Amino acid sequence: MPSVSSNAARPVPQQERAARTRSLFLDTAEKLFVEVGYDATTMTAVAERANTSIGALYRWFPDKAALGSALMLRYSQEIEKHWAPVLAAAARVPTPEFAAMMIETTMDFFRERPAFFVLREAPIKRYRAPAARQNLREAFARAFRSRKAGPVARSRVRDRKRRNRHHERLSGWRCFCSP
């Protein structure tokens, strides 16, 4: 149940130790979400597994939903980093290879982060800034526009020419056979 009395706006870690503690909570929650599921994971279990106090956990996350949202934000940033080299290579590789690279990179990410699917089904708010979504869409659009025409694209041109010749022959037969 979401916390009503706690302040939803949490501080950003200023020191390395604080950042490590916050990251420890996210890593611990991620493992628990995979092991026991989102619903069965409790804030107390996260604090105990991280060997910290519950107060330290609540300092960074007011409730389990905030913890899940922070993990989803982390995942969205990580997957963009995974995609960056593939998007950069789009202009140099044929379309089928580009598509295979995108799929493989995405599957690798999901294998590394199995809690992603647990959190996709969890009743938490997911928020990404519209500008961040737009930037990613534009990166994909640039990648697809710049991709190199590969053997599949060339064979489509060949197939279109063959199909046009075939239609021309059929048209001739229709003229020949028509009364």
> Could you report the average pLDDT of every consecutive run of 10 residues in the chain (179 residues)?
44 74 94 95 96 92 92 90 87 85 90 91 78 80 69 55 57 44
Strand partners, 104: none
Grouping H, G, I as helix, E, B as strand and the rest as coil, residue 148 is strand
pTM to 2 decimal places: 0.69
Closest CA relative to residue 147, chosen from 106, 105, 99: 99
Q: What is the pLDDT of residue 76?
A: 87
User: How confident is the model at residue 97, as a pLDDT?
Assistant: 87
150-155-161-167 Cα dihedral, nearest 10 degrees? -140
